[in-house]
Amino acid sequence: MKTIPELKVRQLKIEPDPRKILRSTDIRDNVSAVCLFQPRARKALEMGLSIPGMEYNVYVAGEPGLGRTYLVENFLLPRAQTGTTPPDLVYLNNFDNPDKPLLVSLTPGQGKILKENLQRIVKRLRRDLPRHFEQASYLRLQNKLFTKLALVRDDLMDRMDEAAQKKGFSLNIDDSGAVSLTPLVDGKVLSSEEFERLESSQKKVIKDQSSAVLNTIADLSRLVNKSEQEFRAKEVQLAQEHAASLVDRLLMPIHKKFADNKALKKYFDSFKEDILENLPHYQGRQEREPRTGPEQQGEGLSDSFFGRYDVNLFVDNSEVTGAPVVKEINPGFFNLLGCVERETEWGTYYTDFSLIKAGAVHRANGGFLILRVDDLLNHPAAWEGLLRCLRTKQSSLDDPTDHYDMLRTRTISPDPIPLSLKVLLIGDDETYELLYMHDERFRKIFKLKAHIQDTVERTPESITGYAQALDRAGRETGLRGFTKDAYAELVNYSTRMAEDRERLSLHFSHLREIMIESNALAISQDKRIIDAGIVKLALDEREYRTNLYQEEFLREYDRRSIKVLTQGQGVGVANGLSVTQVGDYVMGLPHQISCTVGVGHGGIMDLEREAELGGPIHTKGMMILKSYFVNLFARNKPLVLTGSLCFEQSYAQVDGDSASGAELAALLSALSNVPIRLDLAFTGAISQSGAIMAVGGVTHKVEGFFEVCRRRGLTGQQGVLLPRDNIVHLVLRDNVLQAIKDGQFHIHPVSTIEEAMEFLTGTRAGERLKDGRFSPNSIYAAVDERLTELAVLAEKKCAMPRRKSIKKAGS
C-alpha cells in the first residue's frame, strides 16, 4: 500500500510575499489598471475607437463588481480629451413653416453666445422701437401722410356733398361712417311726415334721385377706402423703412460674428423680415429695461409672441473639452433619445421648437455613450430607438407611440440630427449571448466584445500594480493613508477571494468596501494611518457580521444534533464536504454520506434525485459513479444488487459532483464491509476512469471541517482528502495553517479513488490481475466477492452465509 504524503505548511504558503515586494516599491505611481489587468478588454476598446463609423460599437462583458464602468471611463477620458469637440446644436424657429424647426450647427460655445445675443437684441428692440417711432423725422413723415390722406378724404367728401346738393338732398355721415340722405324742398329739410303727405309721383321722383345720388356716393366712398388703404400701406412701408435702420444696426454685430454660417445668414434675414412684418407688437409699447440680476440674464423671453425669436440650445458643448463622454444611468426613451415636449393651454396641447429636448445620444454625439444593458433593456422602446439611431446614423425626434398603431396628435417635425458616436454597453456574458443569438441587429452593430477577466496572475509586477490601483482608489474615495503592509494584507485577501494561490481577484469594488470599513475603524481608534492590523480587524468584523448562519449550524454540530462524526470508523459511511452561499458569505460544512446495499435488482438509487433534491450536475456525478462501478466490476458478470446513497440530514437542494468521490467510497465500504475513518473528510469528483478531479470551494470546505473538529477537540489525526489538482486552490486562514504546522490537522492530496480508499480504510484498494480477479485481501476483491454473492442470492432467492471481514494489511 502506497503512503500518501500530507501537505506541509511551506506548500500552502502564498508566494511571492507582497510585503517584501511593496517595501521597495513606490505605490504612488499612477498605473493604468486597464493596461495591466485587462489586456483583452483594452485591445477591444482600442479596436473600437480606431475604426470610424457606427458599426463597431463595444459590448463590455463581465461580472458585476469588477469595475466595468470605472474601467471604461478611465480608458475613454484621456483619449476623449485629445479628441475634437463636437459642435453646438441649436433649433431655431422656421418663420416660413413653424412646424419644421431649423437645425443649425455651430462651433462649440457659439450656441450660448447666439442665444444670449439674440435675447439681448430682442430686448433692445422691445425697448428701442417704440422710442424710435417717436422720433421727429418719423412723426413728420407720418403727419405728411396723414395730411395727404386728409386732403384727399376732404375732397372726396366735398364731392359727395356737392353731388347730393345738386339732386336736392342733404348728406349726413355719422361717426361710424354710415351715410344718410334727406330730401330738400325749397332749401328746407323734408321731414318724414311731410314726405308721406307728398303725391306718389313726387315720392317716386325723390326715390329715383336718391338712388342715383347713393350710387355716386358709393363710387366716391370706394375712392375713400382705396385712399385709406394706400395710406395704410404707405404707413406700414414708412414704419418698416424707419425700423429697418434700427434692426440692421442691432443685427450688424451678430451678422459679422456668424458671417461664415450660411444657415444663420438666411435665418437673420428671415428674423429681420418677421420683425418688420410684426411691428404693431413693438409700436406704442415702450418699456423700461427691467433690472435683472446675473442669474436672470439667460432666462428665455417671457412674452409668448416674442418667444418665436428665442434660441433652443439643443446641445451645448461650451464646457466640453475634447470629445464628450456621457454615462446615462436612466436610459428611458426620452432621456436617451430626446423628445418634443407638449404644454397645455386652455385644455389643449401645443408645442413649438423651444420644447425640443435633447437626449443622451445627442449630448454624446461626436463622442462616447456609456449604457448599462440591464437598465436599457428595462425600456424596450428605448432599446429599439437606439438600434434604429445606430443603424440609420441619425436621430429623429419621434414620440414612442408614433411607431405603433395608436392615435397620433399633431406635432412639429424637427430636422433629424446626424449622429457619429460610439456606444459602449456594459453587461454580463449571459445577456450578451441572448442578444447575440436572438437579435440580428445587435450582431451587426455591436461587433466587438470586451471581455473583463475576474482574476490576474500573481506576480511581482501585478502585486505592485494591484497596490497602486488600491492606493488610487483610496485617494479618490478620500480615505486615510494605508501602509504598505496594509496593502499587502489586501493583496493576500484578494488571493483568497480568487481561491487560487497563483491569482489575484479583480473584484476591486469588494476590496474598496474593505478599505472603507478599515478607514471607519481607523477613525474610531483615532489613527491617521491604516496599518495591517486595522485591515485584519476589518476583515474579522466583516466575517463576524456575516457568519451568523454558519455559527448556528456549528452550534448544532456541537450538540450532535447534526450526526457527523469526527472520530472513529464506520462501514458504509463517509464524511463529505459541501459549500453553501448565503448572500455574499460562503461557508463550508461536513455531511455524513451513507450507503446501504442488499439483494435485489433495483441497482444503486440516488435518494437525493428520487426526492427531487438533487440538481443536474449531482445527477451526472452519480451516473459517472455508476459507470465507473460497472466498468470495474461488471466485465464478466451482471451487477445484481439494490442499494441507496444519500446525504444524511440534508433537506435542501444538492448540486455539484464534488461529493461523488465520497459517495463511491461509502459504496465500496458498504460492499466490502471495510470501515472508513471518520476523522477524515473527503471531497473530489470521480471520473469514469477512477481519477479524482478538481472541485470548487476547497478552501471553505477544509476550513468548515477544521472548525467542527476544533470545537470538538483536535486529536492530531483529523484532516481532509482532496484532489491533487486542488492544492493550488487552497488559501487557508492562519489558524488552520498553524494547526497543520503543529501536526494537529492534515491535508492529503489524492489523484485516484484507489489512493483515497487506501488512506480512508488502511487497506489496499487492489488491482485487477491477469486472470480477471483482484488482488487478494484487497477492497476490490471483497467487493467483487460480495457482488458475486448478491447475484447468486438474487438468482436462487435464498440466503447464503456471509463471509468474514477481511483483515487489514499488517494486522
Longest dimension (CA), the chain: 168
Residue 504 has phi, psi (to 5 degrees) of -120, 135
Cell, residue 375: 437598465
Return the residue matching grid coordinates 481532509: 720
Q: Are 453 and 38 in contact (CB under 8 A)?
A: yes
Closest to 285 (Cα-Cα) out of 298, 309, 303, 271: 303
List CB contacts of 37: < 8 A, sequence separation 6 or more.
453, 456, 462, 465, 469, 506
Cis-peptide into 294, omega within 30 deg: no
List CB contacts of 345: < 8 A, sequence separation 6 or more.
none
Between vectors from CA 677 to CA 674 and to CA 679, what angle results, nearest 5°?
170
Return the residue matching grid coordinates 469528483: 685
List residues bridging with 785 in a β-sheet: none
Active site residues: 658, 701
Residue 114 has phi, psi (to 5 degrees) of -60, -45
Radius of gyration (C-alpha) of the chain in whole angstroms:
47
Q: Are 631 and 593 in contact (CB under 8 A)?
A: no
Residue 725 DSSP symbol: G
Distance in angstroms (rounded) separating the CA atoms of residues 576 and 591: 5
Distance in angstroms (rounded) separating the CA atoms of residues 757 and 769: 19
Q: Are 598 and 643 in contact (CB under 8 A)?
A: yes
H/E stretch holding 596? strand 585-598
Closest to 659 (Cα-Cα) out of 615, 703, 603: 615
Cis-peptide into 16, omega within 30 deg: yes
Q: Are 358 and 379 in contact (CB under 8 A)?
A: no
Q: Are 707 and 590 in contact (CB under 8 A)?
A: no
What per-residue string of b and e applies to 282-298 under the rule 16 or more CB within 10 Å gives b?
A: beeeeeeeeeeeeeeee
Q: Are 105 and 85 in contact (CB under 8 A)?
A: no
Distance in angstroms (rounded) separating the CA atoms of residues 97 and 413: 10
List CB contacts of 184: < 8 A, sequence separation 6 or more.
168, 169, 170, 190
Total number of residues shown for the chain: 811
Residue 10 DSSP symbol: G
Task: Output the CA–CA distances (angstroms, integers) from residue 486 to 392, 529, 532, 539, 592, in the order listed.
Answer: 53, 10, 4, 12, 40
Closest to 731 (Cα-Cα) out of 495, 549, 405: 495
Closest to 444 (Cα-Cα) out of 396, 391, 385: 391
Task: Output the CA–CA distances (angstroms, integers) from residue 239 to 132, 270, 379, in the order listed.
Answer: 10, 18, 56
